[in-house]
Structure 1
Amino acid sequence: MTFCSLISLNVQNKSIRSFLVYFNIFSSIGYAIGTLNMLPSARLYPSSIALLVYALSILILSSRMHLNIVNNMNKKLYDQWKFLYQVIDLNPNYIYAQDENGRYLLMNQSYAQLMGKDIRYMIGKTDDDINKDSIKETPFAHQEIDSHKLGKFSIIEESITAATGEERWVQTVKVPIHINESSALLAVSTDITERKQYEDEIKFQANHDALTGLPNRRMFNEDLTNLLEKAKINGSEIAIVFLDLDRFKYINDTLGHNFGDCLLIEVSRRIERLLKQSYQSAQVYRLGGDEFTILLPRSTSKDCEGLAKRLLKLFVEGFLIDNNEYFITPSIGISIYPKDGDDANTLIKNADTAMYYVKEREKNNYQLFTSEMQHHFYRKMMIEKHLRTALENDEFELYYQPILDLKTNKLIGMESLIRWNNHILGQVRPDEFISIAEETGMIIPIGQWILKTAVKQSVSWQKEGTEPFRISINVSVKQLLDPMFVEHVKTIIENANIDPSNIILEITESIAMYAESMIEKLNRLKALGISLSMDDFGTGYSSLSYLNKYPLDSLKIDKSFVMGMHRDDENKAIVKTIIAIAKQLDLKVIAEGVEGFEEWHFLKEIDCDYAQGYYFSRPLPADDFKENWLKELN
């Protein structure tokens, strides 16, 4: 027995060791009681008592050992349960479970905080129960537990409003579980707000212009397609308004891209304000560069014209940039579904056509698309095509129009004017092809040809014995912007061996956009010995402050003021004013467009220096000009 006790004391398991120790004790007691059977008078009663002690000891010790094992197991289960809840509570995801009636069975701390409630308050309640006691609804208040769907696994993304009022995006995984033979739904919601914000930002960048924040071309095409589908069902009209800024490229090139960007931002803000105030169903887009588009659902031609007029008024006031005021005007083209097309591409093309129709003519105006414009732009396309080979095919010719001194009625010079005769297009007017030549850059080689040809013709006549006289040559702004222009002029003068004082370059008022840089270039031209004249004065953008800085020799009054001047007192006043300004600046004045005696007489009376026009002669080919004018001059 002693040996057994010693062995029992060395058992590592506490419960078993305790069982063996106490069992040995009780066994010793039972054994001691059993020895009483040796007494005859005991009649074996001690054996019964010993057996009872053995049985009770085994029962008590077994029960005690079982109780310890159960307690240990319960303690381990409690520790595991506690650890599990700690893990769930520490999990940033929103975890909860609801039975088939929508009652909460469990939840973690993150979910309780999201709901703005205490866990103990929410367990056993449904969202409806909680909302009855609360001013605000729980984030998932509108979720319904469908008992038929409890057996289905699902993943959903949804927007919720937390108890704090903050909007959050979550991705919820719902897993069916079974508890005590009943069904429940375990949900784990992950906060994906940052991911959604990033996705929204990427989507916004893909569909919006980075500079102005306006929807871009991609969004425009998508919205137009959707609107057309609805319009076809509803039988309604849709208007597309194209808006392009006049001469924006010149401004951008002169003042810099940063300035151009600021101007585009200000333009977009003005348009947005107008639409928010008066056309809330309309949306403005920036297609790129200086092109803006407006979609106007359920709109008639009258509605579109009203919007176009209000858009034009937006540009009457200047744009304040860096504390300086700048002015710019728009050209607006409009097409309407279904009158001008029944698909997006046709409507876009026609609105674009109408806009360019305005831009080619008066600018700062609007135009609804008409079918006649298609013919116009087809001809323009053909002109551009044949213009590229016109120099090679020797299709250009210079005509010359005399310029007379109004005091002496004598010829003092002539203006060279280009004419184009194409074997397919026939005679093409300068006002048709010059603008296209400028757009395509063809004006540079064409301008060089004009300058060479005019100078060569003048020298040829002088060699034939004609006394030297001045020849005026029109120069495009695009030519003046060419870095090599001054060198080209110098080379032509030197090669022709002509007196540069007999050459007059006629420039337009649009050089005012390049004031400072242009003054330097004009001074270099003057240094060559040639004269400079400002053509079409009064119709452009000249500033009087810059006019005084330009190294000019003369001004040419635009024919729109001279023609019919005797019937219009307003034009008379303009002509008088221009002459007065010129005299103050010590400039000569040339009036073009003199078509009758009345104009000639009036110009002579108000001390105009020179004149040209049909009253004296139409522009003539070189041979005719020589025959009709130079012989008389000789």
Structure 2
Amino acid sequence: MKATVLLTKKLTGFWLLSLVAMAFIFLLTAVFSVMQLTYKQQQQQVSQLSAILSQHQTPAQLQQLDLWLPQLLWAYQAQQFVLTRQNDVLYRYDNPLPERRVIRYGRAILPATPITSLSATSDQAELRFELSLPRPLQFNQISGYGGLILLLGLTAIAIFVRWGYLWLAQQLEGVEDLAKRSHLILSGDYDKALAERGHGRPRLINRALTQLLLELDDAQKQRSRFDQVIRSNTFLDPATGIGNRLFLKNRLDALSNNQGMFAPGVLLLLEMEDLDLLQQEHDELAVQEMLSHTINDINQLLNNYANSIFSRRSYNQFAIVVPQISLADVEKLVAKLLKVCLAQPLEGLVNRDDFFHIGVAYFKVGDSKEQLIEEAEMALRAAQFQGASGWFMYDKGAVDEEFARGSVRWRSFLEYALVNKRVVIYSQAVLDSDGVEHHREVSSRLRDSKGNLVRATLFLPMAIKCGLTPQIERQVIEAVLFDLLGSNPQNTQRYSINLSLDTLTSRAFIRWFKTTLLEYRNLAPKLIIEVNEDIVVNNIEQLTPTLNMISKMGASLCVDRVGQQVVSMQYITSCKFDIIKLHRSIVRQIHLRQENQLFVRSLIGGLYRSEVQVFAEAIESFEEWQTLKILGVSAGQGSLFSDPVQEI
């Protein structure tokens, strides 16, 4: 854009200089022409005077010069006239208003009749005169009328030049608008280029750019909808719109590894007895409507539980997984779930009191995924044997000891950790395809009074309940900025920090974070703020101003756990994320799962025009990493490369 503006100024200056030069040459030529014509006119006057005097050379005629010659000399504006014959002055004229700058003409007067003899008398001797005339273009003063005409002429010229300058500048401004839109297109900012329609000229090119941008925007939306259809057909149940059996398998894989489950939680299996028989005996639309109402009510109930999973295992069996939930909360959840199911209208059903059965299996860290499913199925069969709609829990005592703390004890522990700054920082390297470290993702743990470390999967759910998440994550940011980056100005390492919804919507935290980034502008580019995809999608209008502020301050934005839910990818460009991280459920054994590979191809294909980088997390095997690189993933992290190491 700077080059275009500079070129516009140069072109305008060249046009103005050319116009001034042309006017100067025209004026100079006119002056010289007028001078030449004036000199020629004076010479013609002298020649005419000489011709007249040649007709009046006799003594009688010379004596009558006073009768007509003064009027002629006055008309010529003569300053002085001297007529002589053999050095005798015959006639003399002096202008009563003499001028200093004059031109003198001297010329001999030839007789009208030639002298034929050498014995001519003195009366017939040769006459000679000297004439002084004012110099051409000499103006002693300009009259008021002449000055007015000159002023009007110069004003008209100035107005014309100014109008021409403004017209040319306006035309070239249209070229600048086109250049600005072209620059935005080349930089990949299509939304701004579409909004900057302006007054680009030539207008045909401007309208063509607008039409192409509109078609491109529509194509991107169509591509996003197409990608969503692909994922929906892969991971969603077409009849209910919730996850299918493959979706449940991927999510359970994401919650576990070879050592078992990562965090405690619960698996519920909900089965509707004889649902297929009910559909055959009654109106299919009515049964489908009942099923839809039941699923909607269950979804509303699960909205209060973060990272919950709801899927359909078979025609009449549904699975619900809620991680990081206490045993007491499980009993409350199951009671509410059964109440929601029994509240559904079941007209025409004979055994309506024996229709809903729920099997519950509580799991702790390290439990096997296969064993968990078996326990849930056994609990479901036990609930069915009871002979009425109800629920049954398989192993009620399988409770993680650390997670069994009461709410009051958790609040006391969290406040103790915050006051005494017992936050311990861990980081894990994120490597690109060449093995070079791109950044390090930061995680935190809390150290209790006995020196034991409490992992985030345990204290974060309780911190959310107690409303202490913003304070914990603020201490994490302070540790990264002041201890890791501020202590060594030469450190070029970048760190990514996960922020929760409570933190991003806390006004006090946002004010502090904005002030801190303004004060440490040199450290802002070394920060990467990560946000959960589920948080962004469900709160995009509320989070957009905050995310834009963070981006303008110089920090990068990353959305993680991408692919956990089946949602449109339009939010990636609208929120201007720099990095996206694939969820572990997509990465897990991706070399063996064609549907996950299809998802990654579709995702990267929809982002190929943007500068968004696609990373992967939880990579555990060489085969997974090789497949991801072939698919176009830029970087990855996981136990294959390194485990989290303690920083502070």
TM range, smaller chain: 0.3 to 0.5
What TM-score do you get using the length of structure 2 for normalisation? 0.40
Structure with the bigger RCO (C-alpha within 8 Å, sep 6+) is: 2
What TM-score do you get using the length of structure 1 for normalisation? 0.41
